[in-house]
Amino acid sequence: MIREINKEICVGCGKCEVSCIVGCISEKENKKREIKFSACVNCGACTLVCPVGSIVVRD
């Protein structure tokens, strides 16, 4: 599974970055976040805290 952030929906709140237990989410342009896939352990914490549902899981 791969988690990714839909930057069109993301509001840049940073809750996903704070909740990430391995620190694989970082701020990019316009306060939007990006997930470093190689470091993600698929714990799902970021998905649970996103207030707008911008984090999606795909195979």
Instruction: Calculate the alpha carbon distances from 43 to 17, 24, 29, 40, 57 in Å.
Output: 13, 12, 25, 8, 12
Domain with residue 8: its CATH number is 3.30.70.20
In a domain, 31, yes or no: yes
Domain range enclosing 37: 2-54
The answer to whether the pTM exceeds 0.75 is yes
In a domain, 59, yes or no: no
The total number of structural domains in the chain stands at 1
In a domain, 34, yes or no: yes
In a domain, 19, yes or no: yes
In a domain, 45, yes or no: yes
pLDDT band at 8 (very low <50, low <70, confident <90, very high): very high
In a domain, 29, yes or no: yes
Q: pLDDT per residue over 15-55, tens digit each?
A: 999 999 999 999 988 889 999 999 999 999 999 999 999 99
What is the pLDDT at residue 46? 97
What is the pLDDT at residue 11? 94
What is the pLDDT at residue 6? 94
What is the pLDDT at residue 55? 96
46, 35 contact by CB (below 8 A): yes
